[in-house]
Amino acid sequence: MNWEMFMAPYNQAVDELKVKLKGIRAQYEYGSMHSPIEFVTGRVKPIKSILAKARKRNVPYHALEEEIQDIAGLRVVCPFVDDIYTVVGMIRQREDFNILEEKDYITKKKESGYRSYHVIIEYPVETIQGVKKLLAEIQIRTLAMNFWATNEHSLNYKYSGQIPMEVKARLKKAAEAAFQLDEEMSKIRNEIQEAQAIFRNRNDSEATK
């Protein structure tokens, strides 16, 4: 297996999709509008993790491209829960890729407490051999959901997937607290956005002095 060749289109897809998704945020900023996107990150799954996932699921090498959907992974982090659905709406309308599947782990959280909205897309990458369509996963979540998932992910790594029961229970509590935080923030969303607009205008006028 030539891993460098295998990974090349995934690296390209992540780079391109990062630019495209960051472009959405930039357009809101130019228009001085509230952006439903706080930040965008992207990564190509490390080969070690691809192989570990494949082994766990009995996926042979020749089926990696179809079976491991998140070799190319993008993450869109939003200020508020409603923003997630705004971003999903925009993703659905795009003409530069197709959606294959949507997984709503917000209304239906995972057993761990994990919340996020996942969209699996088929993305065409232009290569010197022609167009190569590959799968990519876009995870859309709030800042609070991201804080929880990042910490839980670190703990999973620390305990090699075997998080002790009492830590698991605390994580579930923390997931609910994070969701409550999202709900409370949504209730004062208008106030927060007005405050941010005042702050932005003040900075803009000071910059042009």
Judged by CB, which is closer to ligand 0O2: 41, or 86? 41
Judged by CB, which is closer to ligand 0O2: 91, or 149? 149
Judged by CB, which is closer to ligand 0O2: 24, or 140? 140
Token pair in block for residue 181: 């935080």
Which positions ≥6 away from 63 have C-beta within 8 Å?
Answer: none
Distances (CA, A) of 4 to 25, 59, 73, 94, 133: 32, 20, 18, 30, 17
3-class DSSP state of 73: strand
Token pair in block for residue 9: 């289109």
Minimum distance, C-beta of residue 16 to ligand 0O2, in the bound complex (Å): 20
Q: Is 62 exposed, middle or buried (0-12, 13-18, 19+ CB in 10 A)?
A: exposed
Identify the active-site residue in 4, 137, 176, 184.
137
Spatial distance between the Cα atoms of 135 and 36, rounded to a whole number of angstroms: 24
Q: Site residues (CB under 6 A) for ligand 0O2? A: 45, 49, 53, 69-70, 103, 110, 112, 114, 118, 149, 152-153
Minimum distance, C-beta of residue 153 to ligand 0O2, in the bound complex (Å): 4
Minimum distance, C-beta of residue 112 to ligand 0O2, in the bound complex (Å): 4
Judged by CB, which is closer to ligand 0O2: 34, or 68? 68
Catalytic residue at 137?
A: yes
φ/ψ (deg, to 5) at 161: 80, -5
Spatial distance between the Cα atoms of 129 and 197, rounded to a whole number of angstroms: 48
Spatial distance between the Cα atoms of 55 and 51, rounded to a whole number of angstroms: 6
Minimum distance, C-beta of residue 39 to ligand 0O2, in the bound complex (Å): 17
Known catalytic residues are 137
